[in-house]
Amino acid sequence: MSMNNLGIVKRNIVRADRQAVEKLSRFGVATIHEAMGRVGLMHPYMRPIYADAQLCGTAVTVLLQPGDNWMMHVAAEQLQEGDVVVAACTVDNTDGFFGDLLATSYRARGAKGLIIDGGVRDVKDLTAMKFPVFSRAISARGTVKATLGSVNIPVVCAGALVNPGDVIVADPDGVVVVPAAVAQQAADAAAAREANEDDKRQKLAKGELGLDMYKMREPLAKAGLKYID
């Protein structure tokens, strides 16, 4: 038994149900995060490299060593249509692990985009390609190919635990992880949550107050809120 998970590529992973993924792709990150009971969100330092980037897919995970993108190439072979690469690093690092060549390769293999707790480069090209990336940093600093990490092991990426096959949804509000086993449930909950929002929006647009719509006046008074002049 190995004491660590380094140097491993797991080939067969159980991906979340395709229909559940498709359904989740219709909702925003904020809605899904709420629907799940407010878990699974990555740290807010993860930002899209262009303003309207968004993606939804199943995770192929990568554990990187700092300044080394060898495993990003190894991961390419494990990609299937609809996957999202989720790359964590064994230590805080902002080097540019990923650029337009890898993006070309990933797209050719069917990948929907990249989530990386590190840096990326060739941002101009990636933007022109409309290849969505959410990253901790942008950096021109390149990497070597010298030390083993792993592919498709559980990783901690930007504070969130990601298992291979989990659903990853990302938009300008952030990145959320939906465990494969609850993907359908989360999609249903998100749909339910969104259903009655339109009605609320119209009422609020007419000037109705949330105080009344959500019946907050009584609990606020009970909590001791005082109005003074």
CA-CA distance, 58 to 104, in Å (whole number)? Answer: 19
Residue 154 makes contact with its own copies by CB under 8 A: yes
Residue 129 makes contact with its own copies by CB under 8 A: no
Half-sphere exposure of 167 (CA within 13 A, CB side): 28
Residue 58 makes contact with its own copies by CB under 8 A: no
Minimum distance from residue 121 beta carbon to its own copies (Å): 4
Residue 191 burial (C-beta neighbours within 10 Å; 0-12, 13-18, 19+) = middle
Residue 43 makes contact with its own copies by CB under 8 A: yes
Using CB under 8 A as the binding criterion, the count of chain residues that bind its own copies stands at 109
Minimum distance from residue 39 beta carbon to its own copies (Å): 4
Q: Which of 17, 173, 191, 194 binds its own copies (CB under 8 A)?
A: 173
CA-CA distance, 137 to 128, in Å (whole number)? Answer: 19
Q: Which of 15, 20, 21, 33 binds its own copies (CB under 8 A)?
A: 33
CB of 86 closer than 8 Å to CB of 79: no
Residue 10 makes contact with its own copies by CB under 8 A: yes
